[in-house]
A = this chain, B = another copy of it.
Amino acid sequence: MVSQLNGRSVISIDDLSVSDIEAIFKTADDICTNPHDYFGKAAGKIAATLFYEPSTRTRLSFEAAMQRLGGGVISTWDVNASSVAKGESLADTIRVVGSYSDIVVLRHPWEGAAKLAAEYSPVPVINAGDGSHEHPTQTLCDLYTLREHHLTLRGLRVALCGDLLNGRTIHSLAFALARFGANVIFVPGDGKEIPDYVRRRLERDYHAHIRREQLGVLSALFGDAPSGEEPATVDAIYVTPSEPHQLAMSSIEGTTVEFRVGSGEALSIYVTRRQRERGGDSPEAARYPTLTARALKTSQFKDISILHPLPRVDELSPEVDKDPRSLYFRQAALGVPIRMALLWHILGLGDGGQSNRREAYCRNVQGLGYSQPGIDCSNKTCITNKEKEFVHPQFEVVRNGDYKLRCLYCDQETATACFGNTESRIYYPSELLDRVLPPISPGHLRFFQSPDAAEAAGYRRVADSWDRYHPEPGKGRKSWLDLVSGRSR
């Protein structure tokens, strides 16, 4: 049977279905048990590791994985000094390096770079980090470590601690945990709260029920007395899948994980480091969840596991290292079998050499796609603002308060001040979008980033009295977005 992953790029953890992930985990299990069955199977194949930013652990684990399979590695991890200095675009580099190799592992400082690379590369691309955007193989390691230790992800409570604002990897992990039926608890440092749009997406796409609670035992992470005193008043957010049945139907196909929602006993604390290199202008969090040996003495922490994506700074004390509950070095070590399994499936090594090369990149726009010259992504380090000759911005129309354009490359949202109907040449303030009925068909929709831009394009503003005749849609009414995208949520 040819693997569903054969020939595919992996840009986001969202590119992988639950059954894709289960297939990877199953292969990783077998690699750990029977490593000799996998040696030499990639002989003659080449993986290119193309790192525009330093990363010791991700690069080395991919290179170890490829070589344990018997394949070769070509690598450059200081690209700045060579091609970039000669002014070469990523689109050109990926076409050349892709033609030398069978798979490219890419790390790049610009968000969306991996998606552009996958579009141009003649071979599959694995995203090993694109700016502050995605890092899907880290998420695979996290999930695999939790599954190995706790046997199932369903019903597991995972406390995501620390900097939940920056770094989409933590957001990706939250989405992936929700997909597998785990409960997520957010324990942010001051000013490092999870962004609103992530919360909204958890509610919208994963039917999560979010509630605020007192931290309880987790308040020990803030240095409070572990027991006997008043618990801290810091709030946490529990994400609990509200509709388990529907969830099972919609996103978990073919999974074999046991269903234990609400068992509520297993807890994992996932600590993240203070981000210093990105967003260095933001002040450091005054209160930041930190794990010490002392905090772990509470009896309620008896059965927990402790994860950390490493490297750490000072939020996880070395005293904890020898604690059997500490899984973070195990989590790092599992990076090799997980990446061996991923390479195995993408390179089709178990498929008898049969090639299943399909589209380079296969993520679908779930909602309404939008692309319009003149609308640029608001993220200055998005690849669409860097290599304009090679990529045009594309968006998904999302509702996040008012309607926004989510970039399909970097996932960041761009505000739109108003939108117009290309037939009537009338434009409306963005917040009126849900009242426009019948809906403007997607083909006649145009967004503007300011009323001036709309006027300059020859549109005129809708009459002031218009909204009196178009009241706000009531509860239960479909939004415009649902109507035009044909989704029946």
Contacts and interface: CB of A to CB of B under 8 A. Distances in A.
Contacts of A83: 54, 56-57, 311
Contacts of A345: none
Contacts of A86: 276-277, 311, 313
A63 B122 CA distance: 19
Interface in A72-87: 72-74, 76-79, 81-83, 85-87
B46 A64 contact: yes
Nearest to A100: B64
B40 A99 contact: no
B68 A72 contact: yes
Contacts of A95: 329, 332
Interface in A35-78: 35-36, 39-40, 43-44, 46, 48, 54-57, 59-61, 63-64, 67-68, 70, 72-74, 76-78
Interface of A: 35-36, 39-40, 43-44, 46, 48, 54-57, 59-61, 63-64, 67-68, 70, 72-74, 76-79, 81-83, 85-89, 91-93, 95-97, 99-101, 122, 276-277, 310-313, 318, 329, 332-333, 335-336, 389-390
Task: Give the 4 A-B residue pairs with the shortest CB-CB distance, closest first.
Answer: A67-B72, A54-B82, A99-B333, A39-B44
A277 B85 CA distance: 9
Given A39-B44, A54-B78, A54-B81, 18 more contacts: A36-B44, A44-B68, A44-B70, A54-B82, A54-B85, A56-B79, A60-B76, A63-B72, A64-B74, A67-B74, A78-B81, A86-B277, A87-B311, A87-B313, A88-B310, A95-B332, A318-B389, A318-B390
Q: Pick the most buried of A36, A82, A97: most chain B CB atoms within 10 A of its CB.
A: A82
A35 B44 CA distance: 9
Contacts of A46: 64, 67-68
A68 B71 CA distance: 9
B97 A76 contact: no
Contact of A329 (B48, B54, B72, B96): B96
Given A82-B56, A390-B318, A100 B44 contact: no
Contacts of A310: 88, 92, 96
Contacts of A36: 44
A158 to B, nearest CB: 22
Contacts of A68: 44, 46, 72
Contacts of A122: 333
Contacts of A92: 310-312
A86 B312 CA distance: 8
A100 B335 contact: yes
12 contacts: A35-B44, A48-B60, A54-B82, A60-B74, A67-B73, A76-B77, A77-B78, A87-B311, A96-B310, A99-B336, A100-B333, A318-B390
A92 B40 CA distance: 30
A54 B74 CA distance: 15
Given A83-B311, A87-B311, A87-B313, A60 B99 contact: no
Contact of A78 (B35, B78, B85, B335): B78
Nearest to A83: B56
A103 B306 CA distance: 27
Contacts of A312: 88, 92
A94 to B, nearest CB: 10
Given A74-B67, A311-B83, A333-B100, A93 B56 contact: yes
Nearest to A335: B100
Nearest to A95: B329
A295 B68 CA distance: 50
Contact of A88 (B59, B60, B85, B311): B311
A59 to B, nearest CB: 8
Given A74-B67, A311-B86, A329-B95, A44 B40 contact: yes
Nearest to A40: B43
Nearest to A85: B54
Contacts of A88: 310-312
Contact of A100 (B70, B97, B336): B336
A455 to B, nearest CB: 33
